[in-house]
Amino acid sequence: MKKQFAVIGLGRFGGSICKELIRQGMEVLAIDQSPEKVDEYKDIVTHAVVANSTDEIALKNLGIRNFDHVIVAIGDDIQSSILTTLMLNELGVKHITVKAQNDYHEKVLEKIGAHEIVHPERDIGIRIAHHIVSKNVLDYLELSDEYSIVELIAGEKMHGKTLIDLDIRAKYGINIMAIKRNENINVSPQAHEKIIRGDILIVIGADKDIDRFEKQLLDED
């Protein structure tokens, strides 16, 4: 089943998360107080609604507790961010990620039940979207609109196989630039190099090809 996400706040940060989650095939409910922002995303996300996220009744009516993951991406209104996080926690939301404006804001969010806290100056929306969707993605660097470098954790399906066995470049059109194993890093690994479960693969290629590779060779569910 597709995971269900709710994104509260449709500024640049929240909007980028919405777009990337949809690109990865997730179901997304976008929430904002601005009718203009909601109208902008109504044809992009699964559902988009105008709502005040500090209104407990409004959150209950949206069935917010049934979502797998809620991202609070509210802009400069720290009070609304804190109240929203508090209510989400009280309503029993399984996983709450919140955008923090500063270190003080982060400390308050930690105390009131945020499961994960991100800083927009350090983390772009796309990187966070990859991280919350897949347990295999450790880091993500966007090179352009279509190409990226990604750190992925090798799973059981790859264990004990060489790069020749997997034929990754021919099958997926991507390149493994390096393999990290414990404290060692093997740059430009040879074709006979065996991959062990838990290795960190540094991969470069088109986003669509990396997604395909991850789904077919790394997912174990």
pLDDT tens digits, 169-197: 899 999 998 898 988 888 888 989 999 99
Contact 207, 147 (CB under 8 A): yes
Instruction: Report the chain's mean pLDDT, rounded to a whole number.
Output: 87
- Percentage of residues in the chain having pLDDT higher than 90: 52
**What pLDDT sits at residue 151?**
84
Q: Does position 134 have pLDDT exceeding 70, yes or no?
A: no
Higher pLDDT, 75 or 138: 75
**What pLDDT sits at residue 58?**
96
Indicate the pLDDT class of residue 221, thresholds 50, 70 and 90.
very low
**What pLDDT sits at residue 31?**
98
What CA–CA distances, in Å, run from 130 to 107, 184, 189, 196, 204?
Answer: 25, 25, 25, 23, 15
Q: Please give the DSSP secondary-structure letter assigned to residue 44.
A: T
- Percentage of residues in the chain having pLDDT higher than 70: 86
Number of CB atoms found within 10 A of residue 1's CB:
5
